[in-house]
């Protein structure tokens, strides 16, 4: 059975690229996409994904605030923050809001895939 993934990013090209990379693999099923944190909360409530790949910097509701709400609403969900803005304190900040890990958008697709697999296997 494939893991259900929700992709959340305000950039259409990033969402498209993530979809193409992940849906090419049998272990992942893209169950939906959202453009901001508020949409992410609504879609997660409806779709009940196993994991969310969530951008940090977005309009309406940023990814950090959305992650905190998502984890309180759906405590079993795995949240992987996917961002361009990586700095030394970010992993600590991400864990504090309930996300499981942060990956730089400049990382290779293999790094993202491995991180998702590790998170989802650990949660199983």
pLDDT value for 97: 85
Q: pLDDT tens across 7-36, in order?
A: 999 999 999 999 999 999 999 999 999 999
pLDDT value for 90: 72
Predicted structure pTM score: 0.93
Task: State the Cα–Cα distance between residues 7 and 28, nearest whole angstrom.
Answer: 12
pLDDT value for 110: 94
Taking CA atoms, 11 is separated from 2, 59, 91, 99, 108, in Å, by: 25, 11, 22, 21, 18
Work out the mean pLDDT of the chain and round it to a whole number: 92
Closest CA to 22 of 94, 82, 102: 82
Residue-number span of the structural domain to which 62 is assigned: 3-123
Domain count along the chain: 1
Task: State the Cα–Cα distance between residues 115 and 112, nearest whole angstrom.
Answer: 5
Residue 51: give its domain's CATH number.
3.40.50.2300
pLDDT value for 89: 79
């Amino acid at each position: 059975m494939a893991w259900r993934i929700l992709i959340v990013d305000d950039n259409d090209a990033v969402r498209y690229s993530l979809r193409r990379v992940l849906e090419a693999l049998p272990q992942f099923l893209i169950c939906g996409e959202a453009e901001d944190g508020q949409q992410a909360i609504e879609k997660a409530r409806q779709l009940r994904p196993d994991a969310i790949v969530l951008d940090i910097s977005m309009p309406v509701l940023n990814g950090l605030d959305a992650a905190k709400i998502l984890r309180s609403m759906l405590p079993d969900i795995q949240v992987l923050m996917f961002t361009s803005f990586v700095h030394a304190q970010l992993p600590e900040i991400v864990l504090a809001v309930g996300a499981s890990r942060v990956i730089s958008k400049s990382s290779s697709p293999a790094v993202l895939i491995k991180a998702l697999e590790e998170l989802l296997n650990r949660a199983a």
